[in-house]
Amino acid sequence: MNNNFGGQIQRYYLQNIIWLFIFSFLLSFCFFSKINPFVDSFFSKTTVKLTLKEKNEDHLGNEIWIYQIDGKDISKPTFKKMEKSGEWEYRSAEKWGYSHNVIYSNASGSSLKIPISTSPSGGLGIICQRNSGRFDLELEEGIISEYDPYTEKSSILQITPFADNYNGVFFHAITYLGFAILIFVFLSLSVIICNKFVCSENKEPHYKYPHLVFALTISMTVFLCIWWKTIGIPNYPGTGDGGGYWTVGQVLARPDITKEEVELLCKDLPTFRGYGIFIPHFIANYISYRTSISAIGIYFVIMAFVCAFGTGYVLPRMYEIVNGRKPGLFQVFTGIICFYFLFTNYLCDMGSDMCGCVYYLAAILFLFLMQETGRYLYAALSGMFFSLCLAARTSYMIGVMIILIFFFVHSLLVLCKNSRLSILKDGILSIKRWVSAIVVMGFFFFVFCLPQVCINNIKGHPGLFAYDTDGAFETKTTTLLEQNADIPLRGYVSGYPEIIYDKSTAYIKQYAGYKKSKEITMAQSMDCYSKRPLDGLASVAKKLFILVDIKTNITLPNEIWTPTTKYYLFSTINYIFLVTTIFMLLNKKVRRIFFSKEDLTLWGIILFGPILPELVGKIEWRQGMILYVFYVFWAFAYGFGSLIYDKERRILLIEENYIGFLTVGVFICHTISLWMYIR
């Protein structure tokens, strides 16, 4: 019996070692843009002599346009080093308006000696056009080949003299193997160190939430100030919407602003933007105008406090309520580091996505605390944060409605069984106290809706919240919601900063009989999906993946996604968090330990309202903030983090082949992502 058990453990370890090595190979492949130049350096250089021949009578001209050497653009210093005879000219793309720098000549008999690599991809790129002429290419070995770009069917003639050289494949294989071994050794040592030193003694964490929030606020503020003053935050304080919000805050905070100016500004505000968006901008500029302190610095402090409050109090406190104990500091800081690695710019973003997410979760937390304790303070805070959440992001409207409906239904079911009300085992709340708390919550909810009521009144629209209407955004005949639902049906399933076009989603609209350019209503959008329901579900699934397939931690990046090591590694780290969450949800043994029914029910309700409606429209990463909080904080840091920290339960990762699941999952994520982005 013991021999069988020991043999089984050995098989588990061997299986995980093999998968860890495969995962190391997968990671090494992400470094391709660093490894390729390293491998290219092993190939020697050779010189080819290019000679422009006499003009053929059948040709319109006798020009040659060289635009690449060894697959790379040509620089002017490189051109100057070449040995030339006859007339040759370097034409820069910037000066001449070309897409590439070009070496140009039209003088018959002119020759140029060009150094090229002996790698399989080494050679020349020639532009073929109507005035192209013939030329000879002579290798150092004396082999001469004649080329005629004028007769080429394609617009580019690529000449690779060493196309049959397999050394490149060999060098790449050796380099990737060596790099994979280094990664494997590093990961193995990390596992050994973790097993030896990282362990819990099942003691209750002794940190206090106010101390944690204060420390996080200070550290985040310092980080933002250093980032702002040294490296610089791209496109900050903001372009587009973010810049507009900052400008509104500046205008409203002016000491000399008049009532007429306020009313005029309120009339010009978009109807679908609530006043909650402008609160941090207004406070920062208000203090700055009256103290001469930097408004940006004050804004950093405000946003740092909001982020610290969300990650240092709201989430740990919610975890404590649901699971009966605080998350350890190891779990808390793991979540903070991982989350803000993926979303660094959201620490100081001019938009309202982070604030809206924190307000939403805070409202739910204080709702729980209100029902547990019956304290009016928690009732007031819950009402306030629900109101601020909707004032900052009306996209949480359905989520708030679902939470409140669930809360009241659950409470009524408890009332039917007992004369006293309790959400937790230890909490007992009288009906009278519960009703009073609800009244207090409702009162503060409406109080914090009053600024929006005033804005709506100026616009001539009665209501508590920001509203959507025909012509609210770019179109004149449809609402913002209808426009957002129509854009994917035109094929553009995602928006800034990475726009992805999907033909299958665009075909849904065309099949339903609508022109691609026609502005359609919400009813017509639903009509499109009802006629091709399977295609619609496939489109929703694609957009769900796009939502979690984050490519940058910058809100307004200066560059779009390109297939380079930097972006591949960033995606891999994100996929590790995502696949780990999927592993914990799908694996029964792990799920039973780290996800209670309360966990799954709570987050199912929290996520359903804000996320599902977004999947019908155009996807932007900022819309998935609440989903990122779940899989980075709750699942990876709090759930998986506790597994890593628990030495006795850590064996589950080996028994359940976590490394194998992770390797396959990350590879599948990369496959889907590359299929969407590179086509």
Residues 99 and 67 in one domain: yes
- Comparing CA positions, the residue from 397, 280, 608, 351 lying closest to residue 496 is 351
Tell me the mean pLDDT in the region 372-377.
87
With respect to residue 38, please indicate whether it lies within any of the assigned structural domains: no
Residues 370 and 223 in one domain: no
Q: What is the pLDDT of residue 6?
A: 52
Residues 128 and 59 in one domain: yes
- Cα(617)–Cα(673) distance, integer angstroms: 19
Stretch among 235-239, 303-307, 436-440, 481-485 having the lowest mean pLDDT? 235-239
Burial 346-381 (b: 16+ CB within 10 A, else e): bbbbbbbbbbbbbbbbbbbbbbbbbbbbbbbebbbb
- Cα(300)–Cα(236) distance, integer angstroms: 12
With respect to residue 39, please indicate whether it lies within any of the assigned structural domains: no
Looking at the predicted structure, is the pLDDT value of residue 66 above 90?
Answer: yes
Tell me the mean pLDDT in the region 463-487.
84
- Cα(337)–Cα(576) distance, integer angstroms: 14
With respect to residue 294, please indicate whether it lies within any of the assigned structural domains: yes
With respect to residue 35, please indicate whether it lies within any of the assigned structural domains: no
329, 351, 373 - which closes a domain: 351
pLDDT digits (tens, 9 = 90+) for 598-657: 788 889 999 988 998 889 888 888 888 999 999 999 999 998 888 887 777 788 888 889
With respect to residue 151, please indicate whether it lies within any of the assigned structural domains: yes
pLDDT digits (tens, 9 = 90+) for 325-365: 888 888 899 999 999 898 888 888 888 889 999 999 999 99
With respect to residue 408, please indicate whether it lies within any of the assigned structural domains: yes
With respect to residue 553, please indicate whether it lies within any of the assigned structural domains: no
Residues 53 and 137 in one domain: yes
Residues 344 and 218 in one domain: yes
Helix, strand or coil, per DSSP, at residue 73? strand
Residues 533 and 607 in one domain: no
pLDDT digits (tens, 9 = 90+) for 236-249: 876 667 788 888 89
Residues 223 and 340 in one domain: yes
- Cα(451)–Cα(269) distance, integer angstroms: 13
Q: What is the pLDDT of residue 182?
A: 96
Residues 230 and 346 in one domain: yes
- Cα(89)–Cα(232) distance, integer angstroms: 39
Q: What is the pLDDT of residue 599?
A: 81
Tokens encoding 511:
């099949």
521, 548, 575 - which closes a domain: 548
Residue 597 buriedness (CB in 10 A; 0-12 / 13-18 / 19+): exposed
- Cα(18)–Cα(91) distance, integer angstroms: 53
Q: Is 65 left (phi over 0), alpha (psi -120 to 50) or beta?
A: beta
- Percentage, residues of the chain above pLDDT 70: 95
Looking at the predicted structure, is the pLDDT value of residue 194 above 50?
Answer: yes
Residues 225 and 345 in one domain: yes
Backbone angles phi, psi at 91, to 5 degrees: -115, 115
Looking at the predicted structure, is the pLDDT value of residue 131 above 80?
Answer: yes
Helix, strand or coil, per DSSP, at residue 476? coil
pLDDT digits (tens, 9 = 90+) for 254-290: 998 888 898 898 888 888 889 999 999 999 999 999 9
- Cα(581)–Cα(568) distance, integer angstroms: 20
Q: What is the pLDDT of residue 426?
A: 46
Q: What is the pLDDT of residue 314?
A: 95
pLDDT digits (tens, 9 = 90+) for 437-459: 899 999 999 999 999 999 999 98
- Cα(606)–Cα(604) distance, integer angstroms: 6
- Percentage, residues of the chain above pLDDT 90: 46
Residues 218 and 331 in one domain: yes
Residue 65 lies in domain: 44-165
- Comparing CA positions, the residue from 194, 184, 193 lying closest to residue 23 is 184
319, 351, 383 - which closes a domain: 351
| pLDDT greater at residue 60 or residue 92 | 92
Q: Give the pTM.
A: 0.88
- Cα(277)–Cα(246) distance, integer angstroms: 10
Q: What is the pLDDT of residue 283?
A: 95
- Cα(78)–Cα(67) distance, integer angstroms: 12
Q: What is the pLDDT of residue 1?
A: 47
Looking at the predicted structure, is the pLDDT value of residue 556 above 80?
Answer: no
Total of domains in the chain: 6
With respect to residue 144, please indicate whether it lies within any of the assigned structural domains: yes
Residues 82 and 125 in one domain: yes
**Mean predicted lDDT score pLDDT of the chain:** 87
Q: What is the pLDDT of residue 201?
A: 54
Which H or E element spans position 646? none
pLDDT digits (tens, 9 = 90+) for 407-428: 888 877 777 766 555 544 444 5
Residues 51 and 180 in one domain: no
